């Protein structure tokens, strides 16, 4: 039994997903690196809020645990690690991009349409509550992917990867009301370790190349 | 309770912890030798049990069917020789003071964890926990590739971790999509993530969702398998990683990624028929063959040469599975033989690197006379990799060509043309290295290093030769069971 009507619940989940998508655009539009990290933290908070909403409306308790982990790991721990990296590397200056901001935003708009187009045939399969979020989840994954390509700094590539992960989490919550708990825990563990390893790598790259601009990584050329 | 299966997964973890806590080099050496033996024995026992019982499970979360057992055998044998080789290789580096004792312990801890993650991945019956284990292998692999901390190694490691992370994220989306469609049939529970359950209900799954899931899994795990056009991380990583790691990347990790793709393919084939996944796989496989064979000729680095050869052979394996029927058998056979031959080639290449301290192909002619054992290993493995008899890669390539010819003649023509080109270019490069007279003296290797690496190469070469032209009767039931998983009804050759 839902505590509120399914339509309103569904719209609330849609709102949460839309806010997630909005923060993606904010990350693309952002020039300062530390602001990008903040935006990512904000996105993780929205993600957790959406997950809590789904958990509340469906009564599936383990989603609460996943939401709590999202807040702890993705809104607090990882942003803190990234901020440290940013400070140490002194790369607060303007971001360098392969694609300028207006073009980047346009491409992201296109990616959102693409995501809706791809998922259209399988949307009717989903639960009423969350069915629209699957397309948004794919859109976020694609935008994260695009961020990794469009930005030159190693740290922004990491943010792109983490945005992809957020999209995946939303996808799992939307498509399947969350994966079984053991799976969620494993995925969180992997993301955390992955972020740590990438953090270690950026430090070592900085030491070796005196830069985290990936266009300067040209030792290996075909 | 099937203890060999448990030993197979737990032994590397124990060895990893032991190496981390060790305070003496001798302890690590003994641990690693023990690990090599345990892997070899338990892999063989698992394969035997699976052939007798069909499916074996252990500990409530491990389960091996024929395909898992085939990979267990592959990872077990190559992992075992790889461990022995690593003891020799890293030991030599330490004797030359290129490596501190602390880093030596760290290396083996990571190396064993890497093996453990891969062995775990192939024996997990749950599609999502398999993903977690594969991600584990990606992460430990990333630290191993950058282990030397040189500029080139760090750059290669960075490229690897970024590309693989993207790939693995896409694969997770594919996994979620499978769950999305299966939970409608099986209900919201972890049952909906089990391979055996998925196979059972595959006909009732939503075709559109499964097609989409397969595409994501193919691109995602394909990145990790080094299929073109997602292969760009592969040559760098293989060239810059410490050589024992290069061998494990090429022989084990690529095979693991192929395994993951095959699991998805098996479900997709039941749901929407083999045409859909087959065509996608054949397209990417031919592209991989074309790109890799074109790059053979311009390689100046012998480790990169073998790396491109890996892209070629993974392409051939996938082509076999894509064609189906006879090709499934040949693909599985090719996977095993490639792992053995390619790891041997890398073992040889690593010794050449230790001696000359550079990877330039044109500066190391005459390896046969200068380094008889490494030279022979490179020559024999190179002949096998080029696809000449009397090695298994020759027979599987012939079978794939025959399979392709009966199913899709155009594919067969393209395959044979690319294969001929790859054969000529690879063999040319291999002969350039092995024949002739040596120009540079280099540093000779210490005795312990020669013994450990010699044993590793010896085991690989003996197995490679023994299973050369004929499938041993002991392995035939396993291959037959694999062919059955993919729904193909063919007589075993």
Q: What does the H/E/C string look like for B139-192?
A: HHHHHHHCCCCCHHHHHHHHHHHHHHHHHHHHHHHHHHHHHHHHHHHHCCCHHH
Q: Residue B430: is it exposed, middle or buried by C-beta count within 10 angstroms (0-12/13-18/19+)?
A: buried
B132 and A186: CB-CB below 8 Å?
yes
Q: Give the residue on A whose Cα is nearest the Cα of B209.
A: A122
A164 CA to chain B: closest CA distance, Å? 7
Under 8 Å between Cβ of B237 and B249? yes
Q: Nearest residue of B to residue A122 by CA position?
A: B209
Contacts of A129 in chain B (CB under 8 A): none
Of B302, B333, B320, give the one whose Cα is nearest residue B419.
B320
Task: Report B:277-296 residues touching A (Cβ under 8 A).
Answer: 295
Closest residue in chain A to residue B184, using alpha carbons only: A125
Q: What are phi and psi of B325, to 5 degrees?
A: 60, -125
Contacts of A197 in chain B (CB under 8 A): 139, 142-143, 161
**Confidence class of residue A2 from pLDDT cuts 50, 70 and 90?**
low
Interface membership of A138 toward B (CB under 8 Å): yes
Closest-CA residue of B relative to A207 is: B151
E strands along B21-134, which residues?
A: 56-58, 62-64
Nearest Cβ partner for A220 among B156, B176, B189: B156
pLDDT cut 90: percent of chain A above it: 27
Nearest-by-CA chain A residue for B181: A125
Q: State the nearest Cα–Cα gap between B239 and chain A, in angstroms.
A: 10
Give the model's pLDDT for residue B351. 94
Chain B CB contacts of A186 below 8 Å: 128-129, 132
A130-177 pLDDT, tens digit each: 777 889 999 999 999 898 888 777 788 888 889 998 999 998 888 777
Within 8 A by CB and 6+ apart from A158, the residues are A82, A195, A198, A199, A202
**CB–CB of B183/B143 below 8 Å?**
no
* Interchain contact, A138 vs B208, CB within 8 Å: no
DSSP 3-state assignment of B69?
helix
**Number of CB pairs, chain A paired with chain B, less than 8 A apart:** 127
Quote the pLDDT of residue B276: 92
Residues of chain B with pLDDT under 50: 490-493
* Residue in A closest to B216 by C-alpha: A138
Report the residue of chain A nearest B138, measured CA to CA: A194
Chain A: give the shortest CA distance to residue B172, in Å. Answer: 7
> Residue B179 and residue A171: Cβ atoms within 8 Å?
no
Shortest Cα–Cα distance, A181 to chain B (Å): 9
Tens digit of pLDDT for each residue in A80-133?
988 888 887 766 554 566 778 888 899 999 999 999 998 888 877 777 677 778
What are the tokens at B341?
Answer: 């031959």
Whether residue A183 and residue B128 make contact (CB cut-off 8 A), yes or no, is yes
Which has more pLDDT, B250 or A209? B250
Cβ distance A171 to B176 less than 8 Å, yes or no, reads yes
**A190·B136 Cβ contact <8 A:** yes
Does A199 reach chain B within 8 Å, measured CB to CB?
no
Do B155 and A205 make contact, defined as CB atoms within 8 angstroms?
yes
| B402 vs A: CB within 8 A | no
Interface with chain B: mutation pick from A211, A220, A221, A222, highest number of B CBs within 10 Å: A220
Which contiguous run of DSSP H or E holds residue B395?
helix B392-407
Domain ranges of chain B: 3-485
Q: Quick check: A122 and B208 CB within 8 A?
A: yes
| A62 pLDDT above the threshold of 70 | yes
Pick among A161, A183, A196, A206 to test the B interface (most B CBs inside 10 A): A183
- The one-character DSSP state at A151 is B
Q: Please indicate whether, in this complex, the C-beta atoms of B183 and A176 are within 8 angstroms of each other.
A: yes
Residues of A in contact with B236 (CB under 8 A): 220
Min distance B491 CA to chain A CA atoms (Å): 39
Q: What is the pLDDT of residue B493?
A: 47
The shortest C-alpha distance from A159 to chain B (Å) reads: 11
Helices (H), B22-65: 25-53
Tally Cβ neighbours within 10 Å of residue B247: 32
Confidence of residue A194 (pLDDT cuts 50, 70, 90): confident
User: Is there a contact between B352 and B367 (Cβ–Cβ < 8 Å)?
Assistant: yes
Find the closest chain B residue to A174 by CA distance.
B180
Q: What does the pLDDT average to over A188-193?
A: 82
CB within 8 Å of chain A, chain B residues 131-150? 131-132, 135-136, 139, 142-143, 146, 149-150
Alpha carbons B230 and B164: distance in angstroms, whole number: 9
State residue A212's pLDDT score. Answer: 66
R_g of chain B computed on alpha carbons: 21
CA–CA separation, B174 and B210 (whole Å): 8
Cβ–Cβ gap B158/A176 under 8 Å: no
Mutate to test the interface with A, among B133, B159, B167, B180 (most CBs of A within 10 A): B180
Kindly indicate whether the ipTM for this predicted assembly is greater than 0.85, answering yes or no.
yes
Cβ pair B20, B53 in contact under 8 A: no
CA B412 to chain A, closest CA, distance in angstroms equals: 30
Residues B306-356: pLDDT tens digits? Answer: 999 999 999 999 999 999 888 899 999 999 999 999 999 999 999 999 999
């Amino acid at each position: 039994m839902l505590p509120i009507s399914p339509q309103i619940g569904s719209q609330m989940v849609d709102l949460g997903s839309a806010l997630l998508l909005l923060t993606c655009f904010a990350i693309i539009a952002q020039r300062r690196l530390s602001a990008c990290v903040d935006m990512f933290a904000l996105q993780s908070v929205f993600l957790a809020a959406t997950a809590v909403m789904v958990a509340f409306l469906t009564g599936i308790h383990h989603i609460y645990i996943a939401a709590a982990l999202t807040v702890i790991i993705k809104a607090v721990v990882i942003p803190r690690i990234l901020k440290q990296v940013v400070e140490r590397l002194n790369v607060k200056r303007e971001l360098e991009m392969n694609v300028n901001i207006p073009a980047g935003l346009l491409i992201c708009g296109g990616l959102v349409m693409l995501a809706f187009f791809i998922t259209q045939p399988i949307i009717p399969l989903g639960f009423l509550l969350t069915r629209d979020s699957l397309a948004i989840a794919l859109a976020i994954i694609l935008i994260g992917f695009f961020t990794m390509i469009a930005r030159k700094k190693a740290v922004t590539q990491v943010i792109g990867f983490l945005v992809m992960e957020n999209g995946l989490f939303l996808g799992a919550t939307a498509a399947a009301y969350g994966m079984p708990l053991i799976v969620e825990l494993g995925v969180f563990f992997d993301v955390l370790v992955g972020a740590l390893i990438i953090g270690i790598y950026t430090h070592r790259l900085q030491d070796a190349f005196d830069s985290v601009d990936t266009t300067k990584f040209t030792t290996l050329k075909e | 309770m099937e203890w060999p299966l448990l030993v197979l997964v737990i032994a590397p973890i124990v060895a990893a912890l032991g190496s981390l806590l060790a305070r003496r080099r001798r302890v690590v050496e003994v641990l690693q030798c023990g690990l090599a033996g345990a892997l070899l024995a338990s892999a063989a026992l698992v394969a035997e049990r699976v052939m007798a019982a069909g499916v074996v499970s252990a500990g409530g979360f491990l389960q091996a069917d024929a395909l898992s057992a085939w990979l267990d055998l592959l990872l077990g044998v190559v992992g075992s020789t790889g461990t022995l080789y690593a003891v020799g290789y890293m030991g030599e580096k330490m004797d030359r003071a290129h490596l501190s004792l602390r880093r030596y312990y760290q290396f083996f801890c990571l190396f064993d964890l890497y093996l453990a993650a891969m062995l775990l991945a192939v024996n997990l019956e749950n599609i999502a926990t398999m993903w977690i284990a594969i991600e584990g292998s990606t992460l430990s692999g990333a630290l191993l590739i950058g282990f030397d901390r040189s500029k080139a190694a760090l750059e290669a490691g960075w490229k690897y971790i970024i590309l693989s992370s993207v790939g693995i994220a896409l694969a997770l989306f594919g996994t979620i999509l499978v769950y999305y469609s299966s939970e409608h049939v099986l209900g919201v529970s972890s049952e909906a993530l089990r391979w055996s359950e998925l196979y059972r209900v595959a006909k009732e799954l939503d075709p559109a969702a499964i097609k989409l899931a397969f595409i994501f899994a193919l691109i995602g795990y394909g990145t990790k398998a080094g299929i073109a056009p997602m292969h760009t991380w592969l040559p760098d990583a293989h060239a810059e990683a410490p050589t024992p790691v290069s061998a494990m990347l090429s022989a084990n990790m690529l095979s693991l990624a192929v395994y993951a793709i095959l699991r998805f393919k098996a479900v997709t084939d039941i749901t929407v028929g083999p045409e859909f996944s087959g065509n996608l796989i054949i397209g990417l496989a031919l592209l991989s063959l074309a790109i890799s064979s074109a790059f053979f000729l311009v390689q100046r680095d012998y480790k990169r040469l073998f790396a491109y050869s890996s892209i070629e052979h993974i392409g051939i394996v996938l082509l076999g599975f894509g064609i189906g029927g006879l090709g499934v058998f040949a693909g599985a056979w090719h996977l095993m033989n490639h792992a053995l031959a390619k790891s041997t080639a890398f073992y040889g290449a690593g010794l050449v690197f230790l001696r000359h301290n550079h990877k330039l192909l044109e500066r190391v002619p005459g390896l046969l006379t200068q380094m008889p054992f490494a030279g022979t290993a490179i020559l024999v493995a190179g002949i096998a990799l080029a696809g000449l008899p009397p090695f298994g890669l020759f027979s599987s390539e012939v079978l794939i060509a025959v399979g392709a010819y009966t199913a899709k003649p155009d594919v067969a023509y393209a395959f044979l043309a690319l294969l001929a080109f790859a054969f000529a270019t690879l063999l040319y490069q291999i002969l350039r290295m092995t024949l002739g007279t040596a120009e540079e003296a280099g540093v000779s290797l210490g005795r312990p290093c020669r013994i450990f690496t010699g044993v590793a190469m010896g085991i690989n070469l003996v197995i490679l030769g023994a299973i050369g032209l004929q499938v041993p009767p002991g392995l035939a039931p396993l291959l037959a069971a694999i062919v059955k998983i993919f729904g193909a009804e063919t007589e075993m050759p």
